[in-house]
Amino acid sequence: MDMLKDMNEALRYIEDHLDGEIDFSKIAAIAGVSEFHFRKMFSYLSGMGLSSYIRSRRLSQAAIDLQREQRVLDVAVKYGYDSADGFSRAFREWSGMSPSEVKNSDRFKAFPRLTFQLTIQGGMDMEYRIAEKDAFKLVGIKKRVPIVFEGPNPEIMKMAQSITAEQRGQLQQWRNTDVQTVVNASLNFDDGRLEEKGQLDHLVGSITTLEANFEAFDVVEVPAGSWAIFSMEGPFPQQLQDTWGKIFSDWLPSSNYELIEGPEISFNGDMSDLQKIYSEIWIPVKKRQE
């Protein structure tokens, strides 16, 4: 199954329905994946959220209609706005011009439709395995933080530094799986995660299967399921962040797996030499339906 071809078919459906109702479950069905997976893959491949893309495409088409001397109210209704005032505010925010100014101008903002293409760039091997994991818990300190995809995330660093020696000792005692180190888990991403404008929930803590009173710590219940586990070694955090990008730009579009909702987990080995850090990334997946 050619995932990029299927995603482009889904984009064609969006294009055909810019002036009507867009069924997001239909988009996902055309792409042959879940809506959750489609939204995430779209965000990674395009650098924007799906809803933001549709809004920009509609306003771009609206600009063309306005140039053709169509009435503002007619254009507003055509692209799903309840009033000319609401449409005018959205259009000005998007383009920097009012609808009436566009009518009388020979210059206006345009937002072309997207088409996904696979570009082979190479240069990075990826070691991974698919593993079945029983249900477990993520226990630690959780906070809503800004998305940062290059270099250390200052808010996450503050979180890690705020954990006391006593808390670290407690978290260590709860580790009863093969992962005997601090884990970082990200979940509940804002739409458009590659725009580096949104936020996510981030937890610093431990993996455990214990039934215990976790006191004042945050707990995320993770159901049993399949995980794509990527291992790497190199400069930290560059190698880790490069691998994150390759997973979504290269591995997922060409694999037989799709994302399911759940935390994205990473952890590191010995941190004494930052040029040679062993790391693992876990992402929750399921096999795609043929």
Per-residue confidence (pLDDT) for residue 191, from 0 to 100: 64
Pair type for strands 225-234 and 127-133? antiparallel
Whole-model pTM: value is 0.71
Per-residue confidence (pLDDT) for residue 198, from 0 to 100: 75
Per-residue confidence (pLDDT) for residue 1, from 0 to 100: 46
Per-residue confidence (pLDDT) for residue 196, from 0 to 100: 47
Per residue of the chain (290 residues), what is the pLDDT tens digit? 466 788 889 999 999 999 999 999 999 899 888 888 888 888 877 778 889 899 999 999 999 899 888 899 999 999 999 999 999 999 999 988 899 888 777 677 788 888 876 554 554 567 889 999 999 999 999 999 987 766 678 888 898 899 999 999 999 999 999 999 999 999 988 764 444 467 889 999 999 999 999 988 999 999 999 999 999 999 988 888 888 888 887 788 778 889 999 999 999 998 899 999 999 999 999 988 75
Per-residue confidence (pLDDT) for residue 118, from 0 to 100: 55
The candidate with the shortest Cα–Cα distance to 283, out of 144, 158, 126, is: 126
The candidate with the shortest Cα–Cα distance to 11, out of 86, 153, 104, 117, is: 117
Per-residue confidence (pLDDT) for residue 106, from 0 to 100: 67
Per-residue confidence (pLDDT) for residue 204, from 0 to 100: 96
Per-residue confidence (pLDDT) for residue 151, from 0 to 100: 65
